[in-house]
Amino acid sequence: MKTVRLTRLPGLFLLAISCGLHAADKPNILFIAADDLRPQFNCYGHSEMITPNIDALAARGMVFERAYCQAAVCRASRASLLTGLRPDSTEIWSNGSRHKHFRDHLADVVTLPEQFKNNGYRSQAYGKLYHGAFKVRNGWNDPKSWSDPAWLNEPRYYYTEEGVRVAREVFARKTKAKGAKIDDWVNHFVLGLSHEAPDVDDDVLQDGQIALQGIAALRKLKDEPFFLALGFLKPHLPFIAPKKYWDMYPPGKVKVATNREAPKGATQFSPTSWGHPRNYTDFPNKGEPSEELVLELTRGYAACVTYVDAQVGRVLDELERLGLSDNTIVILWGDHGWHLGENHIWGKATNFELSTRAPLIVSDPRMKAAGKKTSALVEFVDIYPTLCELAGVPLPDFLEGTSFAPLLDEPERPWKSAAFSQYPSKSHMGRSIRTDRYRFTRWTRSNKSEKIGGMELYDHHNDPQENVNIANRPENAELVKQLTEQLAAGWHAALPTLKQNQKDSK
Active site residues: 74, 131
**C-beta separation of 41 from 55 below 8 A:** yes
**C-beta separation of 232 from 33 below 8 A:** yes
Cα separation, 104 vs 175, in Å, equals: 31
Which of 367, 254, 255, 286 minimizes the C-alpha distance to 27? 367
Give the total residue count for the chain: 506
Helix H segments across 198-342?
206-221, 243-246, 291-321
Cα separation, 168 vs 393, in Å, equals: 49
Cα separation, 387 vs 93, in Å, equals: 24
Which of 380, 329, 382 minimizes the C-alpha distance to 12? 382
Cα separation, 149 vs 124, in Å, equals: 8
Hey, what's the torsion of the CAs at 462, 466, 469, 471, to 10 degrees?
70
SS3 (DSSP) at 334:
strand
Cα separation, 123 vs 150, in Å, equals: 9
DSSP state of 395: P
N-terminal to C-terminal alpha carbon distance within the chain:
40
| Number of C-beta neighbours around residue 402 at 10 A | 25
CA atoms within 13 A on the CB side of 395: 26
Q: Which residues sit opposite 31 in a β-bridge?
A: 229, 331
**C-beta separation of 277 from 300 below 8 A:** no
Which amino acid, 40? Q
Which of 174, 160, 100, 103 minimizes the C-alpha distance to 132? 100
